[in-house]
Structure 1
Amino acid sequence: MFVGLESNKHMTDTLSVQQRSRVMAAIKNKGSIIEQRVAAILKEYGVRYRKHSDKLPGKPDFYITRLSTVLFVDSCYWHGCLVHGSQPKSNRKFWKVKLERNRARDKEMNNEYRRLGWRVIRIWEHELTSPISKRVIRAIAALSR
């Protein structure tokens, strides 16, 4: 079950700046829980996919070559979701620039794939509990048959 970030808005950080930096640096960018959820849904609907190609721009989370489709699973925190994302209280300038850069890079990747003739699907972390995500994946499954 997804727990929104709103519930954590007023929590005080008990870690030092250095400890928090180490914790944040250790967060995986591949094989995250949200990617595992999407992989499970793809498998549930019989969609054959590959993950994290070094040969494709931006290393999409999932790609379906047969359909020329890439699927990115965007974390609300790291991709700056305007609904659920939040900026850390410390080093605000750094995080503001970082999250803006992440969003700009996401748009660039969307444009790059479209120029290459690929479909781009982005699923936000908070959408994983939504029936819409499953409908999108069901549509992919129908196309891939």
Structure 2
Amino acid sequence: MAFEQGLVIPLNPDTSWASSPAIRAVMQANRSRDTKPELALRSAAHRLGLRYRVDIAPLKGLRRRADLVFSKAKVAVFLDGCYWHGCPDHHRPAERNREFWSEKIAKNRDRDRNTDETLTAAGWLVIRVWEHENPVESANRIASAVRERSSS
């Protein structure tokens, strides 16, 4: 949808970047937060007694949002999707628009590295969890880091 003088105007599907209407529908259905892996990780972390902020920027002015943020301990957790972030074990290149998606994934990975460097330089611990990782094991890893940094 596009906005023009307060009116909602449907975008022309012919100008979409998607290779087909079906692909466009699938891409539009992708959630940016509250995905099943996120909910599983948050639930496992909560069961361990951890309390956190959800989907916020750890640093003011940083236009990147962490999935879980432990402000006092300065721990930012990012749950990365295997496709979107180029998991070395599970990422499979796209069949269609291969060049576009290859560049997109490379830019995502570059942005992830930049985010890690920026937060680390500001005194934060960045924890990256792949969507395929066991949420209980990941929550235990997060809990150890948060408790260690909280006791310092």
Band the TM-score falls in, shorter-chain normalisation: 0.7 to 0.9
Q: 1:31/1:129 Cα in 2 relative to 1: closer, same or farther (>3 Å)?
A: closer
Which has the larger strand fraction?
2
The answer to whether the 8 Å contact 1:75/1:125 transfers is yes
Aligned-residue CA RMSD (Å) = 1.9
Q: Does 1:119 align with 2:125?
A: yes
Q: Name whichever structure is richer in helix by fraction.
A: 1
Which position in structure 1 is the counterpart of 2:31?
A: 28
Q: Distance in 2 between matches of 1:134 and 1:94?
A: 34
**Residues 119-139 of structure 1: per-residue CA shift (max 9 Å, x gap):** 1000011212673x2430331
Structure 1 residue ranges, 4+ long, deviating more than 4 angstroms after superposition: none
In structure 2, the partner of 1:139 is 144
Preserved contact between residue 45 and residue 137 of structure 1 (Cα < 8 Å) = no
The answer as to 2:44 corresponding to 1:41 is yes
- 2:104 aligns with 98
SS in 1 for 2:53: coil
Residue 95 of structure 2 is aligned to residue 89 of structure 1: yes
- What is the rounded CA distance, in whole Å, between the counterparts of 1:20 and 1:128 in structure 2? 29
Normalising by the residue count of structure 1, what TM-score does the alignment of the two structures yield? 0.80
| Residues 1:66 and 1:129: Cα distance change in structure 2 (over 3 Å) | closer
CA shift at 1:25, angstroms? 2.4
Letter in structure 1 aligned against 2:144: A
Q: What's the secondary structure of 1:52's corresponding residue?
A: strand
Q: Which has the larger radius of gyration?
A: 2
The separation in 1 between residues aligned to 2:41 and 2:141, in whole angstroms, is: 11
Deviations 1:45-79 (A, max 9, x none): 00110011256321111100110110000011111
Aligned residue identity for 1:61: D
- The aligned amino acid for 1:96 is S
Kept in 2, the 8 Å contact 1:41–1:137? The answer is no
**1:24 maps to amino acid:** M
Normalising to structure 2: TM-score of the pair? 0.77
Give the partner amino acid of 1:109: T
The percent identity for this pair of structures is 32
- Match of 2:55? 52
